Structure 1
Amino acid sequence: MSRLSPLRAIAIAALCLTVCLGLAACGSQLTPETVAQVNGTTTGGAGGATGTSDGTVPGDSSVPGSSDAGGAAAAGGGSTGSTTGGSGGSAASGDAPAGDAAQGTGANAATGGKKAGSCDGFKNQTGITDKTITLANVADISGPVPGIFESAQQATRAYAAYFNSTNDICGRKLDVELLDSRADAGADQQAYTKACDDAFAAVGSMGAFDSGGAGAAQSCALPDIRSTTTTPERRDCTTCFAAQSVDPGLVNPAMPKYFLQKDKDATQHAAVLYINAGAAAVNAQSFRNAYTRAGWKVDYFQGIDVSEFNYAPYVQQLKDKGIKLVTYTGPYQNTVKLLEAMQQQGYKPDAFVQDSTIYDANFVEQAGSNGNGVYAWSSTKMFDDYSVKEMQLYRAWLDQVKPGAVPNYFGLYAWSAARLFVEQATQLGGKLTRASLVAALKGVKDWTGNGLHVPQQVGAKTTANCGSVLQLNDGKWKQVSSGTYLCGPLLNGN
């Protein structure tokens, strides 16, 4: 594989579109009963924030006339205000959202049940005052696809709210400063320069062009615990880590392994299609190499331009070449177009497969019946798997800070990143510094975000070797691969 991660290809492709992902679209939500089932406990919060009729939350200073600093939007979250020029809103009060909010105990507690380090010797430093620890979250909010990674900011705020509701680190609550990288490397650099001055660490960040801020983060020794990393420059930054680790050159084996076992004949007549934008072509070549080494036979390898509206010729090629298994890398909006063209021409392969980009409520709605039977591969638990108590917490607190927000892949890993920061900082106690946090992160192995996702080698920055395969039918996703996850040796994509 190229030195660019597969996720970057997806993100870059999506950014080439002119439509909004609509992350605030409706999706399934937790019932009050489910919220109350997190370890069987609830707690009364500190005040009574509720959602407003326009979907905003009291305390979000982006709402004209709003000044309720104790509201849910302020819960561990910064003011969303103006984020032009890569700068973001100021850090908010960090108060917890009010009303009954889900709580956990033991490993599900906000501190992970870790033994807190002694606070002896704790010192205020950049981003730390007598009352607060400021965390920066840098994400693509404005730009070609408005709100594309808003879910990462929502999830980081949500975890800060959860933590602040019952905990502190040596007397300090968490504030989250929201910064906008605008889908631009320059804006990412600008945002991280500001984070260096304002924040103790960056947590849960997500950007398609995150190379820009890599040098800034490293130059000021800023610990950066991202949702995921999308460029090799970010991965090579010595103070930068990610809840979802990626090692360029290696491909997760779960999906190709599954289809070799399920329908080997289909894998001998496969197609690799991809959006022809950014690094997608190079990454698609890596996928083809990896799948071939796994035992597939790829008969059709083709890029599709971002501006393409006529998918009929590509579908005709699939038919003419006798393709039985189609894989596609690109934004889900283009997936919808491809599926429509396949339906119009009466072409139905034995399997249509994409990564977790389509594991999204918005894709389900837009694809409609054409989405029936499609497969997605993922490295996370399913969003409605409430047997995982951490999923209950994520969903419940996400709804606290942004009522109606839709959980997604990037948000889940941002929540995981926030938990990782809290657990490490809690254990360090009075020894907490930027340098000590970075040193601790280097030793993190098999991180699962308390059961939300496959084991990630955060310190080693190595691609995970496990995943699952999901299938969509009648508007509902179901895991079809056996066991919890499929695992195996990583595939070489070079």
Structure 2
Amino acid sequence: MNGKAIARVAAGALVLSILTACAGERGGSAPAPVAGDGGAATPAASAGGQEMFGTLPSPCGPGDAKGATDQGVTDTTITIGYGDDRGFPKAPGLSKEMGDAVSAMIKWCNAQGGINGRQIKGNQYDAAYMQTATVMQKACKQDFMLVGQGFAMDEAAEQYRVACNLPTVAGFTVGPNAAMGPMKFESVPYPVDHYNAAPLKLAAETFPQIKDKVDLVTSTSPAVITGSNKVKSAMKELGITPKDCGVQLNNEGDPSYVPFAEKFKACGVDVLWTSKTPDPAMFSLLEALDRVGAKPTLVFEATWYSQAVAKWNTSGAGDNIHAGLIFQPFENADQVPAVKKYLDLVGAEGGKTALLGMQATSAFLLWATAAKECGSDLTRQCMVNKLSQVHEWTGGGLHAPTDPGANLPASCALMVKLTGSTYKQVAPANVGEFACDKSNVLKTDPSTWGTKLNEDRVATTFLTPNVIKPQL
């Protein structure tokens, strides 16, 4: 199997595990002011009566936009596609929160008058994990753009999207060609060639012993191996040296996790980091660590901010779990109007709320903001032009600042700690703030990319001379 094939398999496996773990992601009230996002809490509407989404003035409202300017656009309507993998039999409801979020946002926007007076029509798709290519071919025939979608196997559909010149403001992307594709924008980019080391750096500042007493929990999963290699590379740049205790879990499960726990204890590990998502194997390892009297600080990926983890932690074996986030946790909700707005809008429709739902919401707001600026000239070319110029975006305060136009990630993070079934922000000390530094964004080793990029950092695998490029 060649490198690109391995990358695709790894990406698919990783997203399935991530989304399954996040299927019960935490919901609740609303978060707090984001660094660089205006600070203090803002009401739902400004003093002048302007509808707000957190700190973002609503891009929706009446107007006199006219013209059938592009596929899916008429005098009165704009048709977009969106969706998730909710129908996947092995993980029913997979990423359902994303479709629920966009549905709620369409209703919210149309109630204000649509975009410059044009009402939004949504074609909701269920890719059911394995049907992404079929979904994309349908979208190619009828949608103006794809907005806020999250398809685990997007790599299988990327060639069709590029061939039909269908731009997207994705909720998330997975495959390397999808993550770096032409005409693709994300409110929260995760490019293959850059890595946000802010969670790792924040952990190092909070727990100084991480410098020489940390090790990684890895497994035989290609996805975890890829993720762990990126983390090791980032650790090296930050002057962190893993102890390399020689522990690797079997992706298919192990008969006992006590020997692994004892090995970490004997190795003198004070901090454990993992790119593995919450699953029975990891829960068993944490219980084994508790059983042998090992008490390492646990610093894990954002997927460990999860309802499933909170429900599991009845014994307290996970009381030392810390997770780095670039989104505001729901526990901060009373202080961050954007999160409360998201929870209220989706809750009113009986939808599922989760971090990925906020990600889809931010994507919709980014798309709608660009669409408003295009006015009557609502074409795919105009959208690509406008989106490529957005270089600071927080979704009204849902997350740390990102750079959608340049396809660059956040350079910020905050850390939450689990105690019992409750998460609480522990760093930075001021609730709702992020620790930010542009130097947190590191370049990654090209051998980990899984695709070839051109001088514009666009994947060349499916690139054609006819793709829509920004005309600035």
After TM superposition, the score normalised by the length of structure 1 is 0.77
* Partner Cα separation in structure 2 for residue 390 and residue 473 of structure 1: 26
SS at match of 1:363: helix
CA deviation string 1:105-153 (max 9, x = no partner): 3542898345989745532542234543222114222333222211111
Paired AA for residue 334 in structure 2? Y
| Residues 283-302 of structure 1 mapped to structure 2, 5 A cutoff | 283-300=227-244, 302=247
Q: Is 21-30 or 173-182 further displaced after alignment?
A: 21-30
Post-superposition offset of 1:477: 1.4
CA deviation string 1:166-216 (max 9, x = no partner): 2212433222222122323xx222211111112111111112221122222
* Partner Cα separation in structure 2 for residue 356 and residue 235 of structure 1: 19
* Partner Cα separation in structure 1 for residue 435 and residue 77 of structure 2: 42
2:321 matched to 1:374? yes
Matched residue, 1:365: 311
* Partner Cα separation in structure 1 for residue 166 and residue 350 of structure 2: 28
Q: Which runs of 5+ in 2 are unaligned?
A: 31-40, 446-472
Aligned residue among 277, 285, 288 for 1:331: 277
Paired AA for residue 375 in structure 1? H
Task: Work out the number of aligned pairs and report it.
Answer: 420
Post-superposition offset of 1:312: 2.4
| Residues 99-178 of structure 1 mapped to structure 2, 5 A cutoff | 105-108=50-53, 112-113=57-58, 119=64, 121-123=66-68, 125-143=70-88, 144-178=90-124
- Asked if the contact 2:69/2:379 (under 8 Å) is kept, the reply is no
Post-superposition offset of 1:283: 2.2
- Asked if the contact 2:56/2:396 (under 8 Å) is kept, the reply is no
- Distance verdict in 2 for CA 1:343–1:436, change over 3 Å: same
Paired AA for residue 140 in structure 1? D
Q: Is 119-128 or 423-432 further displaced after alignment?
A: 119-128
* Partner Cα separation in structure 1 for residue 426 and residue 4 of structure 2: 31
CA deviation string 1:447-474 (max 9, x = no partner): 1101111111101111221111111113
Paired AA for residue 305 in structure 1? N
- Distance verdict in 2 for CA 1:38–1:446, change over 3 Å: closer
> What is the RMSD computed on CA atoms of the aligned residues?
3.2
Aligned residue among 339, 343, 350 for 1:395: 343
Q: Quick one: higher RCO (CA 8 Å, sep 6+), 1 or 2?
A: 2
2:293 matched to 1:346? yes
* Partner Cα separation in structure 1 for residue 361 and residue 75 of structure 2: 25
Q: Which runs of 5+ in 1 are unaligned?
A: 31-36, 43-103
- Asked if the contact 1:122/1:170 (under 8 Å) is kept, the reply is no
Post-superposition offset of 1:376: 0.1
| Residues 68-467 of structure 1 mapped to structure 2, 5 A cutoff | 105-108=50-53, 112-113=57-58, 119=64, 121-123=66-68, 125-143=70-88, 144-184=90-130, 187-300=131-244, 302-309=247-254, 310-334=256-280, 335-349=282-296, 351-368=297-314, 369-384=316-331, 385-403=333-351, 405=352, 407-467=353-413
CA deviation string 1:326-359 (max 9, x = no partner): 011122224323322222322211x101111011
SS at match of 1:215: helix
Matched residue, 2:16: 15
Paired AA for residue 191 in structure 2? D
Q: Is 280-289 or 411-420 further displaced after alignment?
A: 280-289
Post-superposition offset of 1:377: 0.2
- Asked if the contact 1:376/1:470 (under 8 Å) is kept, the reply is yes
* Partner Cα separation in structure 2 for residue 473 and residue 199 of structure 1: 46
Post-superposition offset of 1:401: 2.0
- Distance verdict in 2 for CA 1:7–1:376, change over 3 Å: farther
- Asked if the contact 1:294/1:491 (under 8 Å) is kept, the reply is no
* Partner Cα separation in structure 1 for residue 169 and residue 44 of structure 2: 31
- Distance verdict in 2 for CA 1:308–1:140, change over 3 Å: same
- Asked if the contact 2:402/2:410 (under 8 Å) is kept, the reply is yes
- Asked if the contact 1:152/1:205 (under 8 Å) is kept, the reply is yes
Matched residue, 1:491: 442
Q: Is 6-15 or 273-282 further displaced after alignment?
A: 6-15
Paired AA for residue 15 in structure 1? L
CA deviation string 1:250-298 (max 9, x = no partner): 3222222223222222331111123432332122111111112202110
* Partner Cα separation in structure 1 for residue 55 and residue 205 of structure 2: 40
Paired AA for residue 264 in structure 1? P
* Partner Cα separation in structure 1 for residue 92 and residue 360 of structure 2: 18
Q: Is 163-172 or 235-244 further displaced after alignment?
A: 163-172
- Asked if the contact 1:388/1:451 (under 8 Å) is kept, the reply is yes
